Amino acid sequence: MKKRMKRILSVVLAGVMVFSLAACGNEKKEQENNTGDTGKTLRVLNWGTAEEEQIAADAIARFNEKNPDVEVKQTCVPVDSWSDFIQKWISMTTSGETPDVINIGLEAARMAVSNELLMPLDEIVENDESLSKLKSEYAESLINGFSVDGKLYGLPNGTQTMVMYYNKKMFDDAGIAYPKDGWTWDEFSDAAKKLTKADGSVYGYGLSSSYFQLTPWWSTNDAYPTTDDYSAPALNSKNMVESVEFLNGLAEAKVTPDPISSDVYSMFASRQLAMVGAGRWVLNTWKDAGLTNDEFDCVQWPVNKKEGSVYGGAAWSISVSTKEKELAVELLKELVSEETLKANAAGGQQVPPTESLATDTEIMGTTPDNILGIWKAVTIADPVAAPTYFGDIEQGLLRGLEEVFSGEKKPQDALDDVQAEVEGTIK
């Protein structure tokens, strides 16, 4: 598989002359911190919103206060796909602009490691007091997500996870007790059926067919789309099939709107859904829609075989090719400092990656009442399955689910077909 990935990147290298590197808009955008004449330069490869780009720029400015003779250039690129991100990274490298410090999404981490682009951070962290302390405050699940073969390649700067949100008024009107952590799939299904109105004005649950949003259903059934070592897909395992059968049962019972085309988050905000799975990222929008603590709350994902959820996120990493390792480490420390992590979380989208920050209501807010339960979800979650063949498995699985929800195929048949397809692609 490693050979296959390197073949892909060799094609990328051959095509860099016609590849146009873009930034957090439609064109490449680079910020420079002009400094002294030492000739030392650090390059930062980033992605995200304009606000997140500025947060990194502020961290770079603090770094320059301590290192005024170092020029730091930040390049921010859009991410259409994580393989695309790797291609942009390669393009920078071949044009003589190799990034020293990289903000890498979880979905791209294994691609980068398999191509020997990242420096292991274990020894660096172990020998640095502040980084060692920071590592001890991360959720173990996050550390595991950015580790490959026992080596750590990134320090998380923010995360996302999933909990189940529910409309309290709808539960009250239906005479159903609010769900509690540890509730089961059967209890969830029963509630969804009772909360669904026959006239179609309210559905008990809004099922999203997005790859990330589906993962808690795999996790809580002790299923995963790949083998433990990520070397092969496991899309047609017994537990995966069982999970899809359960979701298809919800669709057939019409307790959820069309999973393929529905905007479930807007529907929850407009009081058309009694339950929906989401993370922190929806809360600002729902607040603007008028949802208050009196009307909704959240609970951990319903359990079948084990408790669980999903997490994704990003981490700051160091290139194995950096020529300024010590300076790159110092910049990395500023990019994952408490000040920077707080700034990342302030926008209301990300969940801080450390317990002290993620359980602080001044950072997380107080809406809904159980907002701090999001941190528990992070600690029990599985990483979104992101092998080196991420694009193949994501596209194949979503296409297979569409065939199931449309009635074209049975869950077992659809997943058998997708399994064979992905196996053939990655050989």
Reading the chain (427 residues) residue by residue, the pLDDT tens digits are 334 334 333 333 333 222 233 346 444 556 655 545 567 999 999 999 999 999 999 999 999 999 999 999 999 999 888 888 998 898 888 888 999 999 999 999 999 999 899 999 999 999 999 999 999 999 999 999 999 999 999 999 999 999 999 999 999 999 999 999 999 999 999 999 999 999 999 999 999 989 999 999 999 999 999 999 999 999 999 999 999 999 999 999 999 999 999 999 999 999 999 999 999 999 999 999 999 999 999 999 999 999 999 999 999 999 999 999 999 999 999 999 999 999 999 989 999 999 999 999 999 999 999 999 999 999 999 999 999 898 899 999 999 999 999 999 999 999 999 999 999 999 7
- Over the range 238-273, which residues count as b (16 or more CB within 10 Å of their CB) and which as e? eebbbbbebbbebbeeebbbebeebebbebbbebbb
- Over the range 334-370, which residues count as b (16 or more CB within 10 Å of their CB) and which as e? bbbbeebbebbbeeebbbbbbeebbbbeebbeebbeb
The pLDDT score that the predictor gives to residue 263 is: 96
Domain boundaries, the chain: 2-158+314-351, 163-308+389-426
The pLDDT score that the predictor gives to residue 115 is: 84
The pLDDT score that the predictor gives to residue 33 is: 55
Cis peptide upstream of residue 302 (ω within 30 degrees of 0): no
* Cβ atoms of 278 and 160 closer than 8 Å: no
* Cβ atoms of 250 and 404 closer than 8 Å: no
Same CATH fold assignment for domains 2-158+314-351 and 163-308+389-426: yes
Distance separating alpha carbons of residues 350 and 48, to the nearest angstrom: 12
> If you compute the radius of gyration of the chain from its CA atoms, what whole number of angstroms results?
22
Cite the beta strand spans of 183-309 per DSSP E: 275-278, 296-299
* Cβ atoms of 57 and 86 closer than 8 Å: no
**Protein fold of 163-308+389-426:** D-Maltodextrin-Binding Protein; domain 2 (3.40.190)
Distance separating alpha carbons of residues 406 and 338, to the nearest angstrom: 47
The pLDDT score that the predictor gives to residue 172 is: 98
In the chain, the amino acid numbered 146 is F
Residue range 2-158+314-351, CATH number = 3.40.190.10
